[in-house]
Structures are given as C-alpha cells and as structure tokens.
Amino acid sequence: MTQQASGLSPDRPARTFEVRTYGCQMNVHDSERLAGLLEEAGYRRAGAGTDADIVVFNTCAVRENADNKLYGNLSHLAPRKQSDPDMQIAVGGCLAQKDRDSVLQKAPWVDVVFGTHNIGSLPALLDRARHNRAAQVEIAEALREFPSSLPASRESSYAAWVSISVGCNNTCTFCIVPSLRGKEVDRRPGDVLAEVQSLVDQGVLEITLLGQNVNAYGVSFVDADQPRDRGAFAKLLRACGRIDGLERVRFTSPHPAEFTDDVIEAMAETPNVCPTLHMPLQSGSDRVLRAMRRSYRAERYLGIIDRVRAAIPHAAITTDIIVGFPGETEEDFQATLDVVAAARFSTAFTFQYSKRPGTPAAELADQVPKAVVSERYQRLIALQEGISLTENTAQIGRRVEVLVATGEGRKDAATARMSGRARDGRLVHFAPGPAGHGIRPGDVVVTTVTGAAPHHLIADGAPLQHRRTRAGDAHEAGRKPRTGVGLGMPAIGVPPAAPATSGCAR
C-alpha cells in the first residue's frame, strides 16, 4: 500500500503507530505481523515517549479482568481522541472477536474493530475509517490467510517466533480460545522451514515454534495433498536441527494427551533443540481433569515427565496450573500439590480460575469461593517457590551458555550485571567482566553459576567465553529481521478485504 493509499501525501511525514499487546505468545507474534503490515503500508513506529497517530490494541480474552483492562485503557485515550479527531484507535485480537459490536457500544471513539482471522485487513480498515469518517468493524468467521503469509516486523534481532499452526481442536471447558481462533490449521512443513531459514539468514540464533497445541501438528494440514501425519512434529524438530546457523529451537505449548515418545526422541537426539519443556498440567486431580475435558490423567502426565528426564537428564520442565476450578475440593487441590511435588517443575505459571462467559465451565455449579481460591493459590505458590529455589540452587557450580538478551532487565545497577537465557530457558544475571562493554544482546557467553533465587540464576565470575555473533552485529546495527511475504500458504477461504474507495482524504 502506497503512502497515498494510506491517506498520506508525499510532502507530509508518515503517520506513526503503536501496538499494545495483551496475552499469550501467539498475540505477541500477531503484533509483530500488525507492525509489519503497518510499516509496509507506509506508517512508522512512534518513538518512545511520544504520542502515536494510531494506537492498536491486540487483546486477550482469557483472563477475567481482560475487559476491564482494555476499556480502562481506551477511556484514557478518549480525551486525546476528542482533541485530535485524526488520531485513530483500533481494537483487534481475541476480545475483539468475542465482543464484536459491543466494543463500539462501550467505546464509541474507537475507529476500527477487527478479529483474529483477518488481521491482514487492518491497513485497509484504517484507511476506510479515515476516508468515511466512520468506525469500521470487520470480524471474519474463518481464517482468510495463514498469518505467517503476512509481513512481520520482528521485535528481536536474535530470537523469533514461528507459527506452525493456528487454532485448536480441543474443547477444554475453561478455555475460550478455540471459539475465537477456530479449528486447528497446520502450515506445510516446507513453509515453516523456509521461514526459519529466512530468519537464520538474517542473523537469528533462536526460534520458538508456536501453536495452541503445538505437538498436534500434522493432523490438520490445510492442503488436500498433504496427508495426516501424527509424526510430523518430531520430523519438524529434526529438520530444524539440520539448518546451519540455527543454535536454539524451542516450542510451546504441547498437550500431554498427544505428547508421544517420538517427540522425546527428537528432542534428545537433535542438538539444537533446547533441554526444556513447557507442559501444561492445569490440575493434578483426575476428577478435575475430567471436568476440564483434559484427556489425560495425573499418572500419564508424570509418566511423560519421567520419560523426558530419562532421555534429557538436565531438562528444565515448566507448567501451567489453574487453582479453584469449579467443584475443586480440598482433596482435589491436594492432588495438585502432590503432582507438583513429584514433578519438580523449575517454574510453574499459576492462575486463579476466572469465569469466562462463553465457556462451559462458567455454567458449572460449585464455583469455589474467591477466598478459598486465594488461600489455595498462596499454598501452591509457596510450594513451587521452594521447589524452584532448590532446583536453581542445584545449578550452582555449573557452566551455562547464555544468549544475551534485551528486556530481561539487570539484576541491579550496583553490579551492572547483564541478563540472558541459558539453553534450558533459565534466566541468568551475569557479571560481564572487565571487557563487558563489548558484550551485546545476541552474543553468547559461557559463565559459571554462583548463586540462585527462585526465578533466576546469578553468575558473578568473569565470563569464561564470549562469542560475538551475527545476531549481535544485527542488534548493534539496529537491524530487525522481517518475514512474511511468500513464506506462508496461499490465501484460503474468504478473499481479502476490498481496498477503500477511491478519492481518499489527502
């Protein structure tokens, strides 16, 4: 889209944008695509601390306070919109897909509402709203084109998300995602690998394969000529291992019911697949798992953990747990504590159950009182914090390879520690040593762990090795990888949105 098609004239500076993201890694990656679309359409990112001409909210509908957070932030922009009618506000993502027309009822100053299936329509909708001086709402009911076929402006020079599927075929009673993102659709393996290769060619060292149910990959290929293949995910991991220059491969999130031994073997036998696994538990009670429609039980879950640790002894295993699901008894909760104690997770992402309209669990009887949920939650946190500290303390004295990162934060200003991630995903705050000024995000250092806390490791000795990388070069030069065009599958289903009518405002 040219500058003129975007409502800009050649003698005026490009309009600026800001994308505000809520929710999961899928949303973070979708926001990279939204940024890529807007940059391709002639807009530019707003500078830090400046007011953007366009503010895009990429929303989440999973948590109970998601609505309040969005509408609170929208209300803060209302006075600015009133004083500057040319400023535009767009709301997309899962909450937009769910709430549809009610977004404009609650916040009539919003210009564009778009859903999870048509993020590629955003530039045209902004243009149309500006030309018609009227809000535009477009919520597609089915996937129009695989999102990875859209341009993406990546946030990092050294690590990148790569979607291998969208949607989910599961029917967990607490989750609203399948109704908002649709049934699972898998990309062709060749398209996934082409995107990974493109990222590596631009300096990226680490990729994370993304899917709502990532290890189900291969059961729902969109192409009629691509047969169902339950072993496709393990094959994809091994194929990533053959990409020269790709140093780290991660994936999230698998489902225990479909986690097979061929995946464990591929993880153990592929050197660049990191020794880490995020495996959602949700509950340790078989009765609650049944009510959640989670098609595995505690014994099977722990069996997977045992097999992973047998094949990859130093694997760091993390999980998700929901406390206070409707009908959860003290006995059920104790079963969760028992599984947590047995599994020895390095980290657990714990959530207090929140009722989400539109999910089967919201209609269940025996909603657990909030005070009971809170008390159980604190007990779970205390147990897991102790386990995390013990597991991290066991790392003291070990050498770790750290991919230096931005955005992880320094441990404190007094020590000037830098931060990064070990191969197993643990956060490491390390002393850069006398030559620390030469260590850049994207570089790799090897250091020895000297201390631990529940959520990070400390390495206060001078690095044993420092390797300058192409990713570090790219970060230093301010280069971010771009992907999208020609790397996804062709448009499917409904054709793309028609462009705005001619004669748009200049």
Does residue 244 come out as left (phi exceeding 0), alpha (psi in the -120 to 50 range) or beta?
beta
How far apart CA 170 and CA 184 sit, in angstroms, is 9
Of 449, 8, 423, 5, nearest to 206 (Cα)? Answer: 423
Q: What is the DSSP letter of 162?
A: E
How many whole angstroms separate alpha carbon 310 and alpha carbon 307?
Answer: 5
Residues 100, 369: Cα–Cα separation, whole Å? 31
504 known member of a binding site: no
CA distance 52 to 80: 11
Lookup result for tokens 């500076």: 13
Check if the beta carbon of residue 450 is closer than 8 Å to that of residue 458: yes
> To which residue do tokens 């291992």 refer?
241
Question: Do residues 45 and 35 touch, judged by C-beta distance below 8 A?
Answer: yes
Match 């990409």 to its residue by tokens: 243
Can you say how many angstroms the Cα of residue 348 is from the centroid of all Cα atoms in its chain?
Answer: 16
> Does the annotation place 168 within a ligand binding site?
yes
Parallel/antiparallel/unpaired status of strands 165-166 and 316-323: unpaired
Residue 257 corresponds to which amino acid?
A
Q: Residue type for 126, please?
A: L
3-class secondary structure, 33:
helix
- Sequence-separated contacts (24+) of 397-400 with Cβ below 8 Å: 397/448, 397/449, 398/448, 398/449, 399/446, 399/447, 399/448, 399/449, 399/464, 400/426, 400/428, 400/446, 400/447, 400/448, 400/449, 400/457, 400/459
User: Measured between alpha carbons, how far is 432 from 403 in angstroms, rounded to an integer?
Assistant: 13
Tell me, what DSSP letter sits at residue 215?
Answer: G
- Residue 172 known to bind ligand: yes
Residue 175 assigned ligand-binding role:
yes
Residue 311, judged by CB atoms within 10 A of its CB (0-12, 13-18, 19+), counts as middle
Separation between Cα atoms, residue 308 and residue 277, nearest integer Å:
9
Structure tokens at 314: 């130093």
Binding site, residues?
24, 60, 94, 168, 172, 175
Annotated binding site for [4Fe-4S] cluster: 24, 60, 94, 168, 172, 175
